[in-house]
Amino acid sequence: MIYQLKYHPSVVHDDIPALDAAWRARIKNAIENKIAVAPEIFGIPLRKSLKGHRKLRVGDYRIVFRIERKTVLVLAILHRSIIYKQATKRALP
């Protein structure tokens, strides 16, 4: 099953433009080939304040997302050192 992808506005305006071209291509590939196809298999469940969300590791970057029926909401695409603080601020209850 192919999932519909939705992006948090901060991902579109802040996260993706901050990536260089090589990382942008790798992350786009991971989203299209893993998250859009089988997010429950490739995404690792998160705990505590991000319970209900999942993460996908792409090198030093992490993609935090949430599965909602047939839609995947991408919450953040950031470096591993800051992803969880930023994703917590963007998370839905």
> For the segment 9-55, what is each residue's pLDDT rounded down to a tens digit?
999 999 999 999 999 999 999 999 999 999 999 999 999 999 999 99
The pLDDT of residue 93? 59
CATH number, residue 39: 3.30.2310.20
pLDDT in tens, 51-86: 999 999 999 999 999 999 999 999 999 999 999 999
SS (H, E, C) 23-78: HHHHHHHHHHHHHCCCHHHHCEECCHHHCCCEEEEECCEEEEEEEECCEEEEEEEE
Q: 29 is in which domain, residue-wise?
A: 4-90
Residues found in the chain: 93
Number of folded domains that form the chain: 1
Q: Is 70 exceeded by the pLDDT of residue 92? A: no
Q: How far from each other are the two terminal CA atoms of the chain, in whole angstroms? A: 26
Mean pLDDT rounded to a whole number for the chain: 94
